[in-house]
């Protein structure tokens, strides 16, 4: 019988609920503990998902010796300090994307994780999905030939609310770190992490965050583009076009359960349908558990080197827009 992995969840907002449902769907995974900033909120969340322990402080969760790994679901501006807290108590970490505000914070956390010999991964769940892995398999086996273009948009219209973390720079708000990280992750997974040129434009609005952006990433023999934003309605599809065919995700690339392969004449030649076992987050949970069982300190599907390369691209984009967070000075 496999060892049960005791999960802790730090912060109990919307995304934590989605993750908790996934934990409860995974064999050999157990939602052992949760933590919020108040005891009532933690107890309400814990009761809802069957957690044994509910803490009114993050410190108590990090200090619980029975917790094997902590999923961090706090606002992005809190990730750096929350991850450090977990590492100080010897806890493995799966941190929600974007993992930090910038590469400087990430470098420090990676250094601490290595020093303390702990598992560390960004929760880029898309890269663990069967549909995404099937697309990578088709590409690496030469089914679409050399990639010429990628288009991947991700817009999520949200009504402006001055209290919503998405619009607050003090909470790491903005479309790039919340939405744009997905198309960048897809593009770099297929074309590499060093585009020769990046052109972009962003609309800085709300309370001083990027409300939307359009980005073109030029590679030696290909280009990729995306639009992301909180005030744009879009289909959120992705297509990878090669000189021998193309790959299309459906319905939305970042959580796809269906991926299709077409030949150069546009004829459908193969379709992979893999409905989520729960809500899609279960695959990153299983990836963490597999890696930890094998003694690995980072993910095979989403290694820290890739997370760092993507953060470097996002840092460059924000710099070109003149957009920085207060924590960056």
- Mean pLDDT (the chain) is 96
Would you list the DSSP string of 202-233? Answer: EEEETTTEEEEEEEEEE-SS-EEEEEEESS--
H or E element, residue 152 = strand 147-152
| Predicted confidence band of residue 282 (pLDDT cuts 50, 70, 90) | very high
Could you give the CA distance from residue 263 to residue 84 in angstroms, rounded to a whole number? 48
- At residue 206, the pLDDT reads 82
| DSSP helix/strand/coil, 123 | strand
CA gyration radius for the chain? Answer: 20
CB proximity list for 238: less than 8 A, separation 6 or greater: 150, 151, 152, 153, 183, 186, 248, 249, 253
| Digit-coded pLDDT (tens) for 50-71 | 999 999 999 999 999 999 999 9
- At residue 18, the pLDDT reads 98
- At residue 250, the pLDDT reads 86
| Digit-coded pLDDT (tens) for 10-32 | 999 999 999 999 999 999 999 99
- At residue 251, the pLDDT reads 82
- Percentage of residues in the chain having pLDDT higher than 90: 95
Rounded to whole angstroms, what are the CA distances from 104 to 7, 99, 266? 28, 12, 44
pLDDT over 70 at 305, yes or no: yes
| Digit-coded pLDDT (tens) for 88-125 | 999 999 999 999 999 999 999 999 999 999 999 999 99
Structure-block tokens of residue 236: 């959120």
Mean pLDDT of 194-218: 96
Could you give the CA distance from residue 245 to residue 290 in angstroms, rounded to a whole number? 34
Task: Decide: 30 and 8 in contact? Cβ < 8 Å.
Answer: no
The whole-angstrom distance between residue 178's C-alpha and the CA centroid of its chain comes to 9
> pTM of the prediction?
0.97
pLDDT over 90 at 79, yes or no: yes
pLDDT over 70 at 329, yes or no: no
| Digit-coded pLDDT (tens) for 134-187 | 999 999 999 999 999 999 999 999 999 999 999 999 999 999 999 999 999 999
| Predicted confidence band of residue 327 (pLDDT cuts 50, 70, 90) | confident
pLDDT over 60 at 1, yes or no: no
Which letter does DSSP use for residue 8 in this model? E
The whole-angstrom distance between residue 104's C-alpha and the CA centroid of its chain comes to 18
SS3 string of 237-283?
A: CEEEEECCEEEEEECCHHHCCEEEEEECCCCEEEEEECCCCCCCCHH
């Amino acid at each position: 019988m496999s060892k049960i992995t005791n999960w802790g969840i730090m912060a109990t907002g919307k995304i934590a609920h989605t993750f908790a449902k996934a934990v409860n769907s995974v064999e050999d995974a157990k939602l052992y503990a949760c933590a919020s900033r108040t005891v009532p909120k933690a107890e309400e969340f814990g009761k809802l998902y069957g957690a044994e322990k509910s803490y009114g402080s993050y410190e108590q969760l990090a200090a619980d010796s029975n917790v094997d790994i902590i999923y961090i679901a706090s606002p992005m501006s809190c990730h750096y300090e929350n991850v450090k807290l977990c590492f100080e108590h010897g806890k493995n970490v799966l941190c929600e994307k974007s993992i930090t505000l910038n590469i400087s914070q990430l470098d420090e956390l990676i250094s601490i994780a290595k020093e303390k010999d702990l598992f560390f991964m960004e929760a880029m769940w898309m890269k663990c999905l069967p549909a995404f892995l099937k697309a990578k398999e088709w590409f690496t086996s030469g089914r679409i030939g050399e990639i010429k273009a990628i288009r991947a948009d991700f817009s999520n219209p949200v009504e402006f609310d001055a209290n919503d973390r998405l619009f607050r720079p003090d909470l790491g708000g903005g479309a790039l770190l919340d939405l744009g990280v997905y198309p960048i992750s897809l593009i770099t997974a297929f074309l590499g992490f060093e585009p020769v040129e990046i052109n972009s434009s962003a609309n800085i609005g709300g309370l001083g965050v990027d409300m939307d952006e359009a980005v073109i990433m030029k590679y030696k023999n290909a280009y990729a583009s995306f639009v992301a934003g909180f005030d744009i309605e879009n289909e959120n599809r992705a297509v990878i076009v090669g000189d021998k065919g193309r790959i299309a995700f459906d319905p939305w690339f970042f959580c796809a359960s269906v991926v299709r392969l077409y030949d150069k004449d546009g004829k459908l030649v193969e379709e992979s349908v893999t409905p989520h076992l729960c809500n899609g987050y279960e695959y990153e949970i299983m990836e963490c558990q597999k890696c930890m069982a094998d003694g690995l300190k980072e993910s095979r599907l989403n290694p820290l080197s890739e997370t760092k390369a993507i953060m470097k691209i996002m840092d460059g984009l924000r710099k070109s827009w003149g957009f920085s967070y207060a924590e960056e000075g």
